[in-house]
């Protein structure tokens, strides 16, 4: 079984982004970029399936500018066998990424695609579901456990009231939630080995996909700032404030 995993280069999760003065976007000019944390979990899940013998090959895919190649190399260092970069300078929205991934899936014919549940920049939480829809495959989002048995995947999902378990007919799409696994640290020898692993570079044109945007961002603003708070000396003062000033208890 071949497993495809999709990764995205995003602003590192520890960075607190600032909005540009002209309100056109957030300023990501000189900030640290990393692999989206949920995608690390997705790659780890794919590599573990290979280590368990359930997968024969793991292919990592990313869509974006040339610098996304670094993110792909991280996936290869975690243990993916080879990479596919769909290179474009277009600003990509989830529907466009889903169409690009759909074209890559049709070339690669994997039995399973694992993505992160959402990217921490646009917080959209759409791409996996859209890819499943375009391919007509079943989906299990927010996965916290994955088991492969013959032509089926048994997936535990994190839902609002607790957990639920689904069985999907393969081929299928799974998106990874936080508790699916703890991604391994990439070691220096594996980073060196990753440099030698093959990466195919494709373009949206070669895949026959228009990567254009469907939503226009009119402006990006700072959220309304909260009024500065105060520190109270003790419990009595806190209760007094909550009762008489804030009137919430």
Partner 1 sequence: MTTLVIAEHDNAQLKGATLNAVAAAAKIGGDVHVLVAGANARAVADQAAAAAGVAKVLLADAPQLADGLAENVAAQVLAVASNYSHILFPATASGKNVAPRVAAKLDVAQISDIIGVESADTFLRPIYAGNAIATVQSADAVKVITVRTTGFDAVAAQGGSAAVEDVAAVADSGLSTFVGREVAKSDRPELAGARVVVSGGRGLGSAENFKILDPLADKLGAALGASRAAVDAGYAPNDWQVGQTGKIVAPQLYVAVGISGAIQHLAGMKDSKVIVAINKDAEAPIFGVADYGLVGDLFQVVPELTSAL
User: Which range in 12-20, 61-69, 71-79, 201-209 contacts partner 1 by CB under 8 A?
Assistant: 12-20
208 binding partner 1? (CB under 8 A): no
Where b means 16+ CB within 10 Å and e means fewer, 92-103 reads bbbbbbbbbbbb
Identify which of 179, 83, 92 has the alpha carbon closest to the alpha carbon of residue 127: 92
The nearer residue to partner 1, 37 or 79, going by C-beta atoms, is: 37
Q: Tokens representing 188?
A: 């220096």
* Burial (0-12, 13-18, 19+ Cβ within 10 Å), 179: middle
Distance from C-alpha of 149 to C-alpha of 153, rounded to nearest angstrom: 6
Q: CB 245 → partner 1: shortest distance, Å?
A: 9
- Helix or strand holding residue 45 (H, E): helix 37-51
Instruction: Using CB under 8 A, pick the residue from 30, 208, 222, 244 that binds partner 1.
Output: 222
Total interface residues for partner 1 by CB under 8 A = 79
Q: Are strands 57-64 and 82-87 parallel, antiparallel or unpaired?
A: parallel
Instruction: Using CB under 8 A, pick the residue from 57, 108, 158, 200 that binds partner 1.
Output: 158
Footprint on residues 83-142 left by partner 1 (CB under 8 A)? 93-95, 98, 117-118, 120-134, 137-142
Instruction: Using CB under 8 A, pick the residue from 1, 19, 65, 90 that binds partner 1.
Output: 19
How far from each other are the two terminal CA atoms of the chain, in whole angstroms? 58
DSSP letters for 131-180 = HHHHHT--EEEEEEEEEEETTEEEEEEEETTEEEEEEEESSEEEEE-GGG
Distance from C-alpha of 108 to C-alpha of 71, rounded to nearest angstrom: 20
User: Which range in 15-23, 50-58, 73-81, 203-211 contacts partner 1 by CB under 8 A?
Assistant: 15-23
248 binding partner 1? (CB under 8 A): yes
217 binding partner 1? (CB under 8 A): yes
144 binding partner 1? (CB under 8 A): yes
The nearer residue to partner 1, 15 or 199, going by C-beta atoms, is: 15
Footprint on residues 28-87 left by partner 1 (CB under 8 A)? none
Q: CB 228 → partner 1: shortest distance, Å?
A: 9
User: Which range in 1-9, 83-91, 104-112, 163-171 contacts partner 1 by CB under 8 A?
Assistant: 163-171
Distance from C-alpha of 29 to C-alpha of 114, rounded to nearest angstrom: 30
227 binding partner 1? (CB under 8 A): yes
């Amino acid at each position: 079984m071949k497993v495809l995993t999709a990764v995205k280069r995003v602003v590192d999760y520890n960075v607190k982004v600032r909005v540009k003065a002209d309100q056109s976007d957030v300023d990501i000019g000189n900030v640290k970029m990393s692999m989206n944390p949920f995608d690390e979990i997705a790659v780890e899940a794919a590599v573990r399936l290979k280590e368990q013998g359930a997968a024969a090959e793991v292919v990592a895919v990313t869509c974006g500018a040339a610098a996304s190649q670094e993110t792909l190399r991280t996936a290869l260092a975690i243990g993916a066998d080879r990479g596919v970069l769909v290179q474009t300078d277009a600003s990509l929205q989830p529907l466009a990424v889903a169409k690009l991934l759909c074209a890559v899936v049709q070339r690669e014919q994997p039995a399973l695609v694992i993505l992160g549940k959402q990217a921490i920049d646009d917080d959209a939480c759409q791409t996996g579901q859209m890819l499943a829809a375009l391919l007509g495959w079943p989906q299990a989002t927010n996965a916290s456990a994955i088991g492969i048995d013959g032509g089926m995947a048994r997936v535990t999902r994190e839902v609002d009231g607790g957990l639920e378990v689904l069985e999907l007919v393969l081929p299928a799409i799974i998106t990874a939630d936080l508790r699916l696994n703890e991604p391994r640290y990439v070691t220096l020898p594996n980073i060196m080995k990753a440099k030698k692993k093959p990466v195919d570079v494709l373009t949206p044109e070669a895949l026959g996909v228009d990567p254009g945007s469907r939503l226009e961002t009119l402006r990006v603003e700072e959220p309304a700032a909260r009024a500065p708070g105060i520190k109270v000396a003790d419990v009595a003062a806190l209760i007094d404030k909550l009762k008489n000033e804030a009137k919430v208890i």
